């Protein structure tokens, strides 16, 4: 009868299970990822890392949430593997940027955020061994760090590092584990004002490591630097490898939500 609920026994449920998509099946995961990422609290940008063409030689990394499209420099390559899109940066001079804008002046004190702070992250596929710092997402100048704001990067020693400055002091939060070469990994950083910075790095399949560091910083410096992907603002310290599903929020997301971002998207990356 219409509207009637039918209870299945174990044998019936097993026979019908093939009709329902597995949440770890990439086709099913892709729709979940696009929906969930755009529902993040105080989301300021979400770049799946597809391309948008604006002119004869102008290509942008499209922000499908707020339309803050990043301008590419020296033609990084756009591509996809299975269902995962990516931008491949050569580590020599490729990068992308958005001119200094209030959208990326995330100070950690947004009045509309129930959990004020900053969270940003993406998936990365490093294509060379760690040797020098490689910036992933940043509003930062390594040489003039007190005039900077925030970043996530791979250090010269291979750790993921999250950092913020208030213009007077700088706090760094390195991951406990090291970023691996030629493997897709989820990376993120979170700032909770006057409390902590946390670096998030996927390690074993299905496992997300969180490494917190205490901070006394209450407000991030309002830097005049550009927001960059795959370099610092100079530009220099280029990232060599692929970046996918990048995002930034003016809110300190919970560990539960950050882990959900990882768990929902990892099927796209063979995790």
The Cα–Cα gap between 164 and 171 comes to 6
Residue 11 lies in a domain: no
With beta carbons less than 8 A apart as the criterion, state whether 193 and 109 touch: yes
Query: What CATH number is associated with residue 127?
Result: 2.60.120.200
Q: What is the pTM of this model?
A: 0.89
Residue 19 has pLDDT above 50, yes or no: no
Residue 86 lies in a domain: yes
What confidence score (pLDDT) does residue 179 get? 98
E strand or H helix at 149, and its extent? none
Q: Convert the pLDDT of each residue in 168-183 to its tens digit.
A: 999 999 999 999 999 9
What confidence score (pLDDT) does residue 83 get? 87
Residue 28 lies in a domain: no
What confidence score (pLDDT) does residue 11 get? 60
Residue 32 lies in a domain: no
Residue 116 lies in a domain: yes
Residue 33 lies in a domain: no
Average pLDDT for residues 17-36, to the nearest whole number?
67
* Number of domains observed in the structure of the chain: 1
Structural domain including 217 reads 42-269
Residue 13 lies in a domain: no
Q: Convert the pLDDT of each residue in 47-97 to its tens digit.
A: 999 887 776 677 899 999 999 999 999 989 999 998 899 999 999 999 999
Residue 135 vs residue 18, higher pLDDT:
135
Q: Convert the pLDDT of each residue in 107-151 to its tens digit.
A: 999 888 899 999 999 999 999 999 999 999 999 987 788 889 999
Buried b (16+ CB within 10 A) or exposed e, 51-77: beeeeeeebbbbbebeebbbebbeebe
Dig out the tokens for 111 from the structure.
């009045």
Residue 16 has pLDDT above 50, yes or no: no
Burial of 206 (0-12, 13-18, 19+ CB in 10 A): exposed
Give, in order, the Cα–Cα distances in Å from 114 to each of 37, 41, 121, 189, 251. Answer: 18, 9, 20, 18, 8
Residue 158 lies in a domain: yes
Dig out the tokens for 22 from the structure.
């597995």
Average pLDDT for residues 20-41, to the nearest whole number?
74
Alpha helix positions (H), 17-100? 26-38
Q: Convert the pLDDT of each residue in 174-224 to its tens digit.
A: 999 999 999 999 999 999 999 999 999 999 899 999 999 999 999 999 999
């Amino acid at each position: 009868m219409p509207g009637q609920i039918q209870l299945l026994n174990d044998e019936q449920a097993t026979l019908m299970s093939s009709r329902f998509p597995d949440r770890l099946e990439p086709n099913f995961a892709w729709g979940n990822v696009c929906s969930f990422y755009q529902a993040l609290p105080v989301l300021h940008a979400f770049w799946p890392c597809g391309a948008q063409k604006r002119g004869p030689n102008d290509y942008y990394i499209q922000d499908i949430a707020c339309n803050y499209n990043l301008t590419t420099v020296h033609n990084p390559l756009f591509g996809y593997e299975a269902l995962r899109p990516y931008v491949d940066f050569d580590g020599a001079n490729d990068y992308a940027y958005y001119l200094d804008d209030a959208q990326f002046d995330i100070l950690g004190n947004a009045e509309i955020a129930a959990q004020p702070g900053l969270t940003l992250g993406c998936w990365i596929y490093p294509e060379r061994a760690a040797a020098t710092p490689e910036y992933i997402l940043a509003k930062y100048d390594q040489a003039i760090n007190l005039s900077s704001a925030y970043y996530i990067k791979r250090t010269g020693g291979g750790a993921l590092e999250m950092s913020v400055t208030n213009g007077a002091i700088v706090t760094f939060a390195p991951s406990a584990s090291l970023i691996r070469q030629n493997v897709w990994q989820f990376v993120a950083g979170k700032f909770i004002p006057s409390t902590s910075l946390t670096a998030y790095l996927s390690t074993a399949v299905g496992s997300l490591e969180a490494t917190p560091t205490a901070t006394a910083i209450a407000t991030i410096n309002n830097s005049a630097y550009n927001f960059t992907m795959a370099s610092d603002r100079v530009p220099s310290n280029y990232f060599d490898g692929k970046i996918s599903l990048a995002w930034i929020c003016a809110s300190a997301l919970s560990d539960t939500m950050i882990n959900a971002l990882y768990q929902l998207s990892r099927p796209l990356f063979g995790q």
